[in-house]
Amino acid sequence: MKSRIREALYIGLFDALPLLRDPMLLVVISLFSFLPVIFIFVFADAASAMQSLIGAIVLTFSFTGLFASQSVYFNKQWFRFQDMLVASKVSPASYAVGLSVSGLVVALPGVLVALALLLLSGPSTAIGIVLLLATSLLLWIGLVFVGFAIGATTKNARRANSIPQVLSIAMGFLPPVYYPLSRLPAIAQPFAMLIPTTHAAQLAKYYFGLIQLPASELVIGWAYLLGFAALMGFLASRRAHWVDP
């Protein structure tokens, strides 16, 4: 067990090493999700600003999950790092956990800044913070699986870079993550609820007391995120081969 944990830590450190050696690049990437927050702080009220900060936390985790696809692709197709790990009998679970940990390292600065601003913007509770992080991490797990599936099946470097970016826009900036769901027309709201980032943001905003949700929607939100993570995990296990057939 200890050897597996050590393997995962070393792999995570190796994957995060380029960013750790260039802290400014780490700051730029981790704060990418703050761009809409700046405009909302300037042009909107305090409640909207707090919702945007929650959205920034949710999407920081989401983006790092999706962009795991780049590490998977380049380690497998370009650097052949995965082939070396297969030959050295490293566990595929250690490899997956290691790459996931490196994504959390990238997300940490942005999450800490957003949490600090959120706590300074209004009252909050410890349970609200814990549940905010819980929903974000559950979404992150599902999107890490998506990233692994994309990176393992993509054979083109341009697609490995572009697909996560397109998905980030579609799942992050367009749905009601930074802004309230009520801002969308009634006809568009059911479609927004099909996107997992919407559920994570709605739950997080509820636990911070920014919106009201009935108990049924809370149950549906958690069930959706759990089901999404389980389904993506199944698809990743079918598509992301540790050893090519």
**Which pLDDT band, with edges at 50, 70 and 90, does 111 fall under?**
confident
pLDDT given for residue 196 in this prediction: 95
Task: For 186-208, write each residue's pLDDT tens digit.
Answer: 999 999 999 999 999 999 999 98
Residue entry with tokens 């809409």:
36
Residue 14's nearest CA partner among 78, 105, 86 is 105
Q: Examine the pLDDT at 104 and tell me if it is beyond 90.
A: no
User: What pTM does this model have?
Assistant: 0.89
Q: Which two tokens stand for residue 112?
A: 């800490």
**219, pLDDT greater than 90:** yes
Q: How many residues does the chain have?
A: 245
**Residue 72 structure tokens:** 């998977």
Q: Give the pLDDT of residue 130.
A: 93
**pLDDT value at position 5?**
82
Contact assessment for residue 12 and residue 99, using Cβ atoms and an 8 Å cutoff: yes
Structure confidence by residue, pLDDT tens digits, 119-129: 888 778 889 89
Question: Mind listing the pLDDT tens digit for each residue in 35-81?
Answer: 778 777 777 777 788 889 899 999 988 888 888 888 888 888 777 78
Q: Which of 52-61, 109-118, 180-189, 234-243 has the lowest mean pLDDT?
A: 234-243
**139-175 CB burial, b ≥16 within 10 A, e <16:** bbbbbbbbbbbbbbbbeeeeebeebbeebbeebbeeb
In this prediction, residue 213 carries a pLDDT of: 93
Please give the pLDDT value at position 23: 73
The pLDDT confidence band at residue 90, using thresholds 50, 70 and 90, is confident
pLDDT at residue 25, rounded to an integer: 65
Mean pLDDT score of the chain: 85
Q: What per-residue confidence (pLDDT) applies to 165? A: 84
Cβ within 8 Å of residue 184, ≥6 positions away:
176, 192
Alpha-carbon distances, residue 60 vs 55, 63, 64 (angstroms): 8, 5, 6
Q: Above pLDDT 90, what percent of the chain?
A: 31
What pLDDT does residue 245 have?
60
Q: Which of 18-27, 95-104, 196-205 has the highest mean pLDDT?
A: 196-205
Mean pLDDT of 166-170: 87
